[in-house]
Structure 1
Amino acid sequence: MHHADADSPGRRAASGQHLLRLAVALGCALALALALPTVADDRAAPGARAPARQRVIVGGDQSYPPYEFLDQQGRPAGFNVDLTRAVARTVGLEVEFRLGRWADMRRALETGEIDALQGMSFSEQRAKEVDFTPPSLIVHHAIFARRGDRPVRSLADLAGKEVLVLRSGIMHDTLRREHPDVKVVPADTHADVLRQLAAGKHDYAVMAKLPGLYLVREMGLSNLTAMDQPAAVERYGYAVRRGNEALAARLAEGLAIVRNTGEYQSMSEAWLGVLEPRGPTVQQVLRWGAFVLVPLVLLLATMAAWSRTLHRQVTLRTADLTREIAERRQKEEELRSNQQQLLQADKMAALGVLVSGVAHEINNPNGLILLDLQVLDDVLRDATPILDAHARANGDYTLGSLRWSRLREAMPSMVSDALDASRRVKRIVEDLKDFARQESPELRDGVSVDEVARTAARLVEALVKKSTERFEVALERGLPPVRGNPQRLEQVLVNLLVNACQALPGRSHGIRLRTFLDAGRGAVCVEVRDEGVGIEAQHLPRLTDPFFTTKRDRGGTGLGLAVSAGIVKEHGGTLEFESAPGQGTAARVVLPVAREEAA
């Protein structure tokens, strides 16, 4: 298999903690592939004849993270690579990967050195040269600039500017064809594009937004920023040599199967999720540790020497110093706890930024759809009598290849269903915005636990439907309100519901969300009970410890329950667990009733 040089930008990009997450995600995908009963194992038993598998050579870009790149060991990695392996396994293909410079890979497809490209943006011009499968992704391209430079909104605003692009990439083709007044400057890799722009060469750069942000972060190019407005939105998928319809059909078939089995969604979440802030390096940890511990050690040594010298004369003072040392240690523990909460706050801030952008991008077209559908509904009501009269006068006739007699019955229901779906999209987006909104941490009175539970259930509705066929919500009426912060309580319940979904061994196992009043303790309780695999008894006391997780092999960080316990503690409540292996788990949030309500 062909690989690029050991110091390629893609390999340098997949470093540190992200490399660990990539390795875990790849290991999970390979374990799942080996466990699938419907896919034959390549290592056939001795004496058995393995079925013939077509061998194909699939090419890609060596520096296009997180879609495709070469890792530190020079091995192909990324979303496209995992997707290709899953598709090949599904349709019985044997794949050899070749990743290199994009321009070289395009030429290799034209000359027949490779059979397919696993990721290529669609255009009408390219469709005359290669055959495309249905898209596997929609890729947003953005304009990158140095911080402080004049912002631009579209490709048309780049007229007369020197613009860096990937050689033979879709933006290279688009700018040359549709914007001849732009001075195009091609580079061999995306890393070269961003490195030249950061060094002050040329004016702007245009490339896919997610890989661009990924490389900016990994390469430490803090003087670069991406414009919020998308420069282009392209369909992105497999491309084969012109006329190779058989291979295109098999890849399309495998892609459809992988989507339907849910494996596509798992790979997408693992590779294309939110770009998390990078954790501290070993050098930073050592430096911070020295900064805190060295003065502390010196202080303790001084105090110990002074205490030994004056021990007989100042016994009472020694007791005071001992108490002071204990308080200092307690404050140090609180400081470490606050640092962990700060890391989680950074992640939630990144989530809030992403959700706000996505909500804005969805709300605008959805608002237009909702408005247009309402107009179409009114038009349909007004036009129906006229169309009925025409049918009575001239007999039944055809509209849009369907008979009016059939359309008359179906059209109102179709418009009504579309309106309901659009309103549901709007509600989901509003729930996401409420969940991610940065509000004051202060607690307020009159918070309805039932409303918090409903909102949390809506936020994870898609995951719950994917995970179980039996989801029950039982909300007790007339519960007294509590004092709290609705968004932070929603965060706790979302964490508990996500954990419950991940614990289920199959869709036949259920989840129950309920609220009730515990009069004995004067508290309102919210319980999430699942029929999952359960938790070992020795693990129960450590569930809320920072960084403790039983899902390390599936990408768990061990922060979700730790943060949730901290939030519940801020509300004066407790987070309790009941579980046994094979019998499921019950997680219960206990919140005290407001004093006025209790009285």
Structure 2
Amino acid sequence: MTRRLLSLLALTVLALAPGAAAAAADLSQRVLRVGGDRDYPPYEFLDADGKPAGYNVDLTRAIAEVMGLRVEFELGAWSAARQSLREGRIDLLQGMSWSEARAREFDLSPPHTVISHAIFARRDGRAALSLEELRGRSVAVHRDGIMDETLTGMGLGQELRRTDTPADALRLVAAGKADFAVVAELPGIWLTRALKLDNVVPVAHDVASQRYGYAARHGDAELMARVVEGLAIVKKTGRYDAIRQKWLGVLEQGRPSWAEYARYGAVLLLPVVVVLGGTVVWTRSLQHEVAQRTALLAREVAERQQAVEQLRLNQAQLVQADKMAALGVLVSGVAHEINNPNGYLLLNLPVLKDVVLDAVEPLEERYRAEGDFRVGGLRWSRLREELPEMLGEMIEGSRRIKRIVEDLKDFARQEDAPRLAPLELNGVVAAALRLVGNSIKGATRHFEVSYADGLPRVRGNAQRLEQVVVNLVLNACQSLPDPGRAVRVSTRHDPRERAVLLVVEDEGVGIPPEHLSRLTDPFFTTKRESGGTGLGLSVSSGIVTEHGGTLRFSSREGAGTTAVVSLPVAAEEGAA
């Protein structure tokens, strides 16, 4: 009850915010396009007449009615529906399972139900009691569904047979073309009955439970607020329970009732046995109710634990962000303090060099007249050759200090809404490499950098892209077991993909296959004992995604790792 009151309070505050009334009116005046899966019964599907039906459809209609919204359903292949939301061709997906990756891509509502997944197999086939036992077996899954993502993240991508619908996955099992299918349990039971796949049964129940709710594009806060408010009202009025019972409760029926067993017993057995049968019925009923309530409580506990863990991660991210902000201020202050004395050096060293060069001729005359002599403790015969070179190195060193300080100030500068503009990737890479020059020298004797000529420009923010390059190069250096291993950085153009690529390769220890899919997860690190925070690659992935690009990794244990950043060519470059 407290959680519902807080949700309604938050929605009320949002409704009173400036511009909320105008946005609400805009939503009420247009038809909202709601997408979903055409073959995911009983949640959403096209019925025999080709019309949208199911639990999700009825729930969306109820929400639209109480909120004064007009909706139009577009049910199709799940993968295509998800892409349509991503590209703005639809406004809302009425059913999406929660995951961290999806939460980064879309705005997700609180769940309106929890979906349990099961492993299905042939009656005469081999059983599997958990997802781990699927390794090495042929597994059919719904393409781009939550179990496709889950099993791929577990490193089972090679064993997967991806299908357009859950029904196709179950058909593969029935035909002996796959050992198992992992689908949501209620759709799986519904489809095996509807398609008369009598040789396919669930062999492991509740192998994964997922929160299931609405999804909208990032930033569509008003639409999501209206949906969440409507869902709360529908639940409060009791319509939610009626819709749920209509679609999800029906699959729990169909078994003979204990009353029927008692009736048969009355005909065949003594009255005492009838009494015993009634007692058994009562006991079973109590057990069933206890089991249901226990399962419900367990799911609520799991949801709360997930919420607490997410809160902990968010708090840790805020602490780390505060540290980075403080570090930026510190870097700016130190840079200012270094620039002042370095400015004196840059101003005075050229004058000193001219003075020394003017004094060379008189000293040479003395050398020819008197022979070798000492100047500043060193013999003139040696000093006259090294002095100009020493002064030149001092001037160049001061200039290098100035470049590094300027790069540090740019790197530490914070921008709440970074501006994107056409830029040269080669220049960004060069600036980042100057920042980590000492780390590179300390890690390897074999560093190579290759800049492609004539690269088209990309649209981006130089400061944030420098952060990506720094993170990737430092990770590569830290992976080397000794300075004899190499690190290579290169840029290139991929005209077919209309993209500019940055490739960072190392000959380090490599990454285990089970860790490869988690590299960009927040706070995941294999270097915790050496001070790693697990935020570098996560932040880098977010920056690349923000620029419309991709960050991919490939690795072999003991043979090194390759990171590839792909950034789209700027629109004006593509037009040229």
Place the TM-score, normalised by the shorter chain, in its bin: 0.3 to 0.5
**TM value normalised by structure 2:** 0.46
- State which structure, 1 or 2, has the greater radius of gyration over its C-alpha atoms: 2
